[in-house]
Amino acid sequence: MARECILVVDDQAENIEIISMLLGGQYDLLSAQSAESAFAAIGQGRLPDLILLDVEMPGMDGYEACQRLKSLPGTAHIPIIFLTGRGSVEDEAYGLKLGAVDYITKPVSPPILEARIRTHLALKNASDQLRNQNTLLEQRVAERTAELVRRTEDVVLAQDTTILALASLAETRDNETGNHILRTQNYVKALATRVREHPRFRAQLSWGQITLLYKSAPLHDVGKVGIPDHILQKPGKLTPEEFEIMKAHTTLGRDAILAAEAKLDSSTSFLRVAREIAYAHHEKWDGSGYPLGLAGDAIPLSARIMAIADVYDALISQRIYKPAFPHEKAVAIITEGKGAHFDPDLAEAFMAIAGEFNAIAQRFKD
């Protein structure tokens, strides 16, 4: 397996020599004594995995070089660490604003430099993997959707089958079962039906819309197909870095469904509701959720309903990282989250039909 490659750009040869002695045993090193020669080296050979960039150099300085690197598609994703004698807060803030991932002042501490390089290479590898998985996911979704639409003559059947086929992509990767899909879509239908006549929701919850919610709910975690196995199936608590990667399943799911909609060439696609659910079902009423930190009614109603269904099922189900909680404890946790995690009116409705949720859970037990 090829070693990772680092490009060192510094106009002082002795600085390059010091860094080469420090890192040469761990990485393949390229060097350049000007920004111009660095661009020439990048254009002629292997793309570096990370760039160590001086600021003060004759000709093009490091700031301008960073700005140019970040503007080019081929180099925009390469992490840049500034190594410089400029140590003011303003200089550091400017460097980071231009797109650098780190800013280290000279003289450099070898342990700090090595640790920062390891961290940013690991983050780049994870980011590259997510981009590759997202591309693959979009292709698989588009292929599966096109195949299903071609083979069916019944539009309703095509919609239903497409949703279940897409949801199965996530099932093949996650440790959840097909019954999780059946339970959550029935919870969603029960909760939406309960609040259908509520003044806040009446205009958004026709019977047709409730049917769309029921059919689209299985796609809420389709983006998990793009999350690496060592994170998705980790038995213990995720690290902050792993959790950031896990959170990307919302964006991956949205993008995959957008790609499917584009292939169907429909501005009123039945997948619109599924896209809302996939992207926003981890948002919280108080704004502390992800991926956008939406709050209150800014969160789509479909996602707010899905949030209660998904959390309830996660609580009562055994996972590799937790035991199953009893129904009563799950109800207590959701009740406690009223007005913080969950829409307060939806939480009230859930409390009123908690027994119905329990009956659904027993009916579709794993």
Q: How confident is the model at residue 136 (pLDDT cuts 50, 70, 90)?
A: confident
Arithmetic mean of pLDDT, 156-160: 58
Q: For the chain, where do the domains classified as CATH 3.40.50.2300 start and end?
A: 5-108
In angstroms, the Cα distances linking 13 to 26, 179, 356 are 20, 64, 73
- 233 contacts 175 by C-beta, under 8 angstroms: yes
pLDDT digits (tens, 9 = 90+) for 82-128: 998 888 899 999 999 999 999 999 988 999 999 999 999 999 888 88
What local confidence, expressed as pLDDT, does residue 232 receive?
83
Q: 303 or 269, which is more confident?
A: 303
Q: For the chain, where do the domains classified as CATH 1.10.3210.10 start and end?
A: 152-363
Residue 314 has pLDDT above 80, yes or no: yes
Residue 2 has pLDDT above 90, yes or no: no
What local confidence, expressed as pLDDT, does residue 158 receive?
56
Superfamily of chain region 152-363: Hypothetical protein af1432 (1.10.3210.10)
Residue 321 has pLDDT above 90, yes or no: no
Question: What CATH architecture does domain 5-108 belong to?
Answer: 3-Layer(aba) Sandwich (3.40)
- 231 contacts 240 by C-beta, under 8 angstroms: no
SS3 6: strand
What local confidence, expressed as pLDDT, does residue 218 receive?
87
Residue 260 has pLDDT above 80, yes or no: no
What local confidence, expressed as pLDDT, does residue 152 receive?
46
Could you tell me what percent of the chain has a pLDDT over 90?
Answer: 63
Helices (H), 172-318: 178-194, 207-216, 229-232, 240-247, 249-264, 271-280, 301-316
Buried b (16+ CB within 10 A) or exposed e, 20-39: eeebeeebebbbbbbbeebb
What local confidence, expressed as pLDDT, does residue 132 receive?
80
- Cα 109 to chain centroid distance, Å, stands at 34
User: Which of 123-137, 155-169, 171-185, 276-290 is modeled with the greatest confidence?
Assistant: 276-290
What local confidence, expressed as pLDDT, does residue 264 receive?
66
What local confidence, expressed as pLDDT, does residue 256 receive?
84
Nearest to 250 by CA among 285, 212, 294, 206: 294
Element (H, E) at 115: helix 110-151
CA separation for the pair 282, 98 (Å, rounded):
31
Mean residue pLDDT of the chain comes to: 88
Residues whose CB falls within 8 Å of the CB of residue 157, separated by 6 or more in sequence, listed in order: none
Q: How confident is the model at residue 153 (pLDDT cuts 50, 70, 90)?
A: very low
pLDDT digits (tens, 9 = 90+) for 40-59: 988 887 899 999 999 999 99
pLDDT digits (tens, 9 = 90+) for 11-32: 999 999 999 999 988 999 999 9
CA separation for the pair 57, 59 (Å, rounded):
6
Which of 256-265, 316-325, 336-345 has the lowest average pLDDT? 256-265
Residue 173 has pLDDT above 60, yes or no: no
* Tokens 């080296």 found at: 41
How are the residues of the chain apportioned to helix, strand and coil, as percentages rounded to the nearest 5? 60, 5, 30
Please tell me whether the overall predicted TM-score, pTM, comes out greater than 0.85 for this model.
Answer: no
- 137 contacts 225 by C-beta, under 8 angstroms: yes
pLDDT digits (tens, 9 = 90+) for 203-257: 999 999 999 999 889 889 888 888 888 888 888 889 999 999 999 999 998 998 8
112, HSE (Cβ side, Cα atoms, 13 Å): 10
Angle, vertex CA 184, rays to CA 180 and CA 190, nearest 5: 150
- 25 contacts 53 by C-beta, under 8 angstroms: no
What local confidence, expressed as pLDDT, does residue 170 receive?
58
15, HSE (Cβ side, Cα atoms, 13 Å): 24
Q: 150 or 104, which is more confident?
A: 104
Amino acid identity of residue 208, one-letter, is G
